[in-house]
Amino acid sequence: FGSSVFRGRPQPRLTMPIRGCTEHLHVGRTYHEFDNLRQTLGRSSDQKFDFVVIPLAAPGGTGAGLEFRPSVDSEFALDAEVWASRVVGAVSDSLGPAAFAGDLAAIASRSEALQTELRWGLHLGLHGILLPPCLEVDGCTNYARTINDCLVSGVFGQPGSDGVPVAVRVSADNAGWLAWNRLRVLCNHHQGLAVALEFPAKVDASDRELLRWLGEPVLFANLSTSSFVENKQGFPVLPRKQKSLLLELFHHPCKVLLSGEGDVGPHLDYVARLFQSRPAPTQAELFGQSHLDCLQSPLQPLQDNLDMGTYRMFEEDPVKYVQYEEAVLRFLQERLAAGRTAPFVVMVVGAGRGPLVTASLEAAQRAGTQLAVWAVEKNPNAVRALWHKKRTCEWSCVEVISEDMRVWQAPRKADLLVSELLGSFGDNELSPECLDGAQRFLAEDGASIPQSYTSSLEPVFAGKLWDELRSNHEAKHLDMGYVVNMGRKFCPSVAIQDCFTFAHPNLGLGNDRYAELSFELEADALVHGFIGYFDCILYGDVRISIHPKTFSEGMFSWFPMFIPLREPLFLRKGQVLKSHWWRRHDSSKVWYEWTVSHPVPTPVQNAGGLSWSMALS
């Protein structure tokens, strides 16, 4: 922190509520030895720590079965709720990967000793358990096999479940990530294994490579006093890379561990001030937090009628309808400047409960002109809302039509066709098919809002989401796309690539597509699938977008699309991932297919739309 924070007088110690989430800081103090646990807890609490980390074994007490000597006499040393909320246990470092090199009998003995310590910690119902550091050394494969035994036998709890979370200590540098990835693969990507991320004083990783940890199940950020450097005023601060990573981890439910000899109060103060330096969340961020990493099936508005709650949520977007109003205004201003006269015929297709009608009328008022509006909606429940607004909102120039836009016979040609039929991947809610059916009643020189939209893709590491889909035990769940506000993710590619583009009016009258997209990776990474976005030109230079490069700030009507691979692919920095994408249709549905052809070929997913499709009726 800058000198102005600390200059002149000691800063008051900050109080941190005992909750592990993104709104509250949760910090523990690591003790490598202690005499009296109750006194240690009291001392740490006085120092404003929320919990402690203690060794599970007494000094020299590692062993199997009854040979194991715990660091506390019995479970009665503390009440159950104190064990669960204020104590994390650390498995002995002597039972780390290096201990698992040697003959089979020695490996079996150490495996039993490790499981004995684990089971003791689980018996106590601790706040968490830390496993020895994950290293690429002789014995690491046997170490992984022992951990995998515990995972498949149900010894570990799931992160976020009622069980005791278990995290393996991992260095934040490149070697640490490669060792962790090896362990994760050997344990078959099991959800029960998490990370306690150790921050070394010097990190051998680029800023981009450090961002990989944002996609990992990091439960603890482990800071030693040696992780810090002194600033010009003599106060401990984290180096730039470590500080940036910790700030990013604060967006996840990640607890902080502090270890080291002597007074760690200044280090705790620094962490607390860093946490409180984060900007307040925006309205869109607050909305997104309730949907974080929650897989949702995309809407199918042609097949299903939306409910009131869905309409209401979309209508609360503070950006989308402002942009629509601006787009209609641009259209009207252009026509007026060209000498066209009112009233302008506007057909709002898929009118819902009327927000696009309102936006169009307000644009006309700003332009000083009149409209004749047809609001076309197939959902009879939404039509009732349109009738209500026609009666109560001075919609004298609005005709409400309870019809499907594809079959309605319009009484006259429209100057402007307005719609909001986009999905997270642009065309996945069948906007092209809907507007193709409606464009027959567009005047020869008529226009559409939107004018065009383009979907785009990039590869993503998203282990949490992929694990959740795999756990359904049905292959079809990995052959489907999902709307999701991704929290734990890492995007390793150099650039996002455009996929499919659609323009309206559609003069080609064909909506099947094929795209070949290649992505160069900027870091070693596992790829679990792809993130899909869209960028939409409403009119002229007025747009709405969820593409990261052109994102409409503050808009929350759409989350990105997650399109998984059946198996994750490991790629090295500089390698190219080549993918292929199809949009296909038959008489009843539209669907996507996708595959990877390089560096290794994968099966074409969702062939024939057997797992996932969009119904045409």
Domain total in the chain: 3
Residue 547 lies in a domain: yes
Is residue 13 over pLDDT 70?
no
- 414 and 458 in a single domain? The answer is no
Residue 367 lies in a domain: yes
- 148 and 241 in a single domain? The answer is yes
Is residue 309 over pLDDT 50?
yes
Q: What percent of the chain has pLDDT over 70?
A: 95
The confidence band for 237, taking pLDDT boundaries of 50, 70 and 90, is very high
Is residue 531 over pLDDT 90?
yes
Domain that holds residue 105: 3-275
C-beta of residue 459 within 8 angstroms of C-beta of residue 530:
yes
Residue 298 lies in a domain: no
> What's the pLDDT tens digit per position in 42-93?
999 999 999 999 999 999 888 887 888 999 988 999 999 999 999 999 999 9
d(CA 355, CA 321) in angstroms, rounded, equals 7
Give the residue with greater pLDDT, 141 vs 65.
141
The answer to whether the annotation marks 321 as part of a ligand binding site is yes
Could you tell me which residues are beta bridge partners of residue 67?
A: none
Last residue of one domain, picked from the residues 222, 251, 275: 275
Query: 499, 497, 501, 518: which is closest to 510 by C-alpha?
Result: 501
Is residue 241 over pLDDT 90?
yes
If DSSP codes are grouped into helix, strand and coil, which group holds residue 436?
Answer: helix
Mean pLDDT of 373-381: 96
> What's the pLDDT tens digit per position in 104-120?
999 999 999 999 999 99
Is residue 606 over pLDDT 80?
yes
Query: 463, 433, 428, 461: which is closest to 581 by C-alpha?
Result: 428
The answer to whether the annotation marks 320 as part of a ligand binding site is yes
Q: What percent of the chain has pLDDT over 90?
A: 79
Residue 427 lies in a domain: no
- 509 and 366 in a single domain? The answer is no
Give the residue with greater pLDDT, 330 vs 474.
330
Mean pLDDT of 554-574: 96
Residue 282 lies in a domain: no
Is residue 14 over pLDDT 60?
no
- 234 and 332 in a single domain? The answer is no
- 136 and 87 in a single domain? The answer is yes
Mean pLDDT of 264-276: 95
- 414 and 460 in a single domain? The answer is no
- 155 and 24 in a single domain? The answer is yes
To the query of whether residue 420 is one of the catalytic residues in this protein, the response is yes
The answer to whether the annotation marks 81 as part of a ligand binding site is no
- 385 and 475 in a single domain? The answer is no
> What's the pLDDT tens digit per position in 490-525?
999 989 999 999 999 998 879 999 999 999 999 999
Q: How far is CA 372 from CA 198, 201, 343, 421, 441, in A?
A: 65, 68, 6, 22, 14
Q: Out of 117, 198, 420, 593, which one is annotated catalytic?
A: 420
Confidence at residue 458, expressed as pLDDT on a 0 to 100 scale: 98
Mean pLDDT of 536-549: 98
Confidence at residue 124, expressed as pLDDT on a 0 to 100 scale: 94
Q: Out of 117, 209, 325, 429, which one is annotated catalytic?
A: 429
Confidence at residue 470, expressed as pLDDT on a 0 to 100 scale: 92
C-beta of residue 594 within 8 angstroms of C-beta of residue 579:
yes
Confidence at residue 324, expressed as pLDDT on a 0 to 100 scale: 98
Is residue 280 over pLDDT 50?
yes
Is residue 407 over pLDDT 60?
yes
> pTM of this prediction?
0.90
Query: 163, 159, 279, 268: which is closest to 220 by C-alpha?
Result: 159
- 98 and 202 in a single domain? The answer is yes
CATH number of the domain enclosing 329:
3.40.50.150
DSSP E strands in 386-505: the ranges are 398-401, 414-418, 442-449, 452-460, 482-483, 497-503
List of residues 6+ apart from 384 with CB closer than 8 A? none
Last residue of one domain, picked from the residues 404, 420, 436: 420
The per-residue pLDDT of the chain, averaged, comes to 91
List of residues 6+ apart from 511 with CB closer than 8 A? 427, 432, 433, 436, 502, 583, 585, 590
Region label for 125, one of left (φ > 0), alpha (ψ between -120 and 50) or beta (otherwise): left
Last residue of one domain, picked from the residues 420, 443, 464: 420
What are 336's two structure tokens?
């007026």
Residue 595 lies in a domain: yes
Is residue 3 over pLDDT 50?
no
The confidence band for 161, taking pLDDT boundaries of 50, 70 and 90, is low
Tell me which H or E stretch contains 561.
strand 561-571
Give the residue with greater pLDDT, 190 vs 18.
190
The confidence band for 157, taking pLDDT boundaries of 50, 70 and 90, is low
CATH number of the domain enclosing 83:
3.20.20.150
Mean pLDDT of 420-446: 94
Confidence at residue 158, expressed as pLDDT on a 0 to 100 scale: 56
The answer to whether the annotation marks 404 as part of a ligand binding site is yes
CATH number of the domain enclosing 586:
2.70.160.11
Confidence at residue 17, expressed as pLDDT on a 0 to 100 scale: 33
Is residue 8 over pLDDT 80?
no
Is residue 21 over pLDDT 50?
no
Is residue 289 over pLDDT 60?
yes
If DSSP codes are grouped into helix, strand and coil, which group holds residue 464?
Answer: helix
d(CA 69, CA 88) in angstroms, rounded, equals 17
Confidence at residue 5, expressed as pLDDT on a 0 to 100 scale: 28
Q: How far is CA 355 from CA 105, 242, 320, 438, 557, in A?
A: 72, 46, 10, 19, 13
DSSP E strands in 425-552: the ranges are 442-449, 452-460, 482-483, 497-503, 513-520, 525-539, 542-545
Residue 138 lies in a domain: yes
The answer to whether the annotation marks 311 as part of a ligand binding site is yes
d(CA 416, CA 346) in angstroms, rounded, equals 5
Residue 561 lies in a domain: yes
- 513 and 608 in a single domain? The answer is yes
- 140 and 231 in a single domain? The answer is yes
List of residues 6+ apart from 59 with CB closer than 8 A? 33
Is residue 159 over pLDDT 70?
no
DSSP E strands in 271-362: the ranges are 344-349
Confidence at residue 162, expressed as pLDDT on a 0 to 100 scale: 63
- 410 and 461 in a single domain? The answer is no
The confidence band for 153, taking pLDDT boundaries of 50, 70 and 90, is confident
| Number of residues in the chain | 617
Confidence at residue 4, expressed as pLDDT on a 0 to 100 scale: 28
